[in-house]
Amino acid sequence: MLDLSQIIKAYDVRGIVPDQFSEPVARAIGTAFVEMLRESGDEPDQIVIAHDMRESGPGLAAAFARGVNAAGCAVINIGLASTDQLYYASGSLHLPGAMFTASHNPAQYNGIKLCRAGARPVGQDSGLVVVRERAQDLLRDLNAEADGVSRVEQRDLLGDYAAHLRHLVDLSGIRPLKVIVDAGNGMGGYTVPAVLGDQVLEPLPLTIVPLFFELDGSFPNHEANPLDPKNLVDLQNAVREQGADIGLAFDGDADRCFVVDENGDPVSPSAITALVAARELAKFPGSVIIHNLITSAAVPEIILENGGKPIRSRVGHSFIKAEMADSNAVFGGEHSAHYYFRDFWFADTGMLAAMHVLAALGGQDLPLSEFAAEYERYTASGEINSTVADAAAKSDEVRAAFPDAQVDDLDGLTFSFEDGSWFNLRASNTEPLLRLNVEAADPARMASLRDDVLAIVRG
């Protein structure tokens, strides 16, 4: 029998369909999710569910719903949705939620992102281990297959989601912008026309040029993972060839957004974090802003310059969301282009971040390359992965090689130097990888530091 620890990890459920993640597994997780909520003091009457464009999504979601019904709980199914649309549903309806998606993973994968009412995260420290153990027991129990009475309500919340985002960021008064959007055949092709186009609401001063808006979970054009530079090439070429003001790329479930300027050059997620932080601090002076420890040193600098209070966090949405809730932070950003907002239930939404960038760009006359330059102060390596047999031993070697650095262990090891340069080395939670991020004041220093660390890690 399948060991569910193979697919239920630190933050979510993810596996190959049907070998690892099948409809019986989804059904068991549905029942286990309701039981975990009850054991932790919640008494849900309904669970809201949604799925992305992957072919396996509707069947898995229906099986999960049967498991929820078997546990005596009803289901609201909002159908096709982005992950942040599911968070909107969980927040606005104040219901626990389940989003069926494998985000940017290849077509053969699917998974579930679970949340409590109000879009509060469910991770390994907040109920996911209990879900895994209970679902494993259910799969062992041949008598656990009896379905309850089917109670599934279909509901369309796309228009409500779009209206909520439009309420949070007013784009009606900006200068006209030509925006090329690469949805990668993912859910951005469903949500962008509703939020930024005139499909649902009043038109905006935006000319949206779509790339790969056709929903297709086989990803026929490129992977829906804009973090990989090769998946930005189509967008970059289109922006240059068509003279656009900005390019936006969404991942498969459209909860992350990447930005390229009018020259087709990427604008780093750290710069976007700093830009949005400045905007939020203008509305909510003195607020707390969360940034993970891999974002640029420019991020806390700019937060302080704008009167905010930066708080450094571990990498990962469950840590960011918990830190935001504890500190009542107005905004949080990660190097991976996840952006979190207090006025979106502390949840992450790529669409809302994109709207902030459009509002900032359209509210002044400079091109994006010049406007974003004030937020790009240092040279970064980006995340570099190395396969290692013993991550702890390699980390110890690196520590010994830099005796003059200041080292902290909030998340992996972060080495800081007197010239302001730094690097972070941390082990993957799910793979035999060490992840390296390096930043320095100039390209030469960054490259030298990067190469010195990699020589040890890969030596």
Of the candidates 308, 42, 323, 4, the one whose C-alpha atom is nearest the C-alpha of residue 136 is 4
Of the candidates 48, 26, 44, the one whose C-alpha atom is nearest the C-alpha of residue 35 is 44
Of the candidates 246, 249, 253, 241, the one whose C-alpha atom is nearest the C-alpha of residue 215 is 253
CB 345 within 8 A of CB 87: yes
Q: Write the burial class of residue 364 (CB in 10 Å: 0-12 exposed, 13-18 middle, 19+ buried).
A: exposed
Q: 350-362 and 83-93 are packed helices; what angle lies between their axes, rounded to 10 degrees?
A: 100
Can you spell out the DSSP letters for 211-277?
Answer: ES-S--TT-SSS-S-TTSGGGGHHHHHHHHHHT-SEEEEE-TTS--EEEE-TTSPEEPHHHHHHHHH
Find the catalytic residue in 103, 268, 318, 395: 103
395-403 contacts at long range (C-beta below 8 A, 24 or more positions apart): 395/425, 395/427, 395/434, 397/456, 398/425, 398/453, 398/456, 398/457, 401/452, 401/456
> Three-class SS of residue 312?
strand
| Residues 251/257/261/265 CA torsion (nearest 10 deg) | -50
Q: Taking the CA atoms of 134, 135, 137 and 141 in sequence, report the sign of the dihedral they define.
A: positive
Return left, alpha or beta for 231; rule: phi > 0 is left, psi -120 to 50 is alpha, else beta. alpha
CB 97 within 8 A of CB 48: yes
CB 71 within 8 A of CB 31: yes
Can you spell out the DSSP letters for 20-70?
Answer: TS-HHHHHHHHHHHHHHHHHTT---SEEEEEE-S-TTHHHHHHHHHHHHHH
Residue 56 is among the residues annotated as catalytic for this protein: no
- Rounded CA-CA distance 363/35 in Å is 49
- Rounded CA-CA distance 202/196 in Å is 9
Active site (catalytic) residues: 103
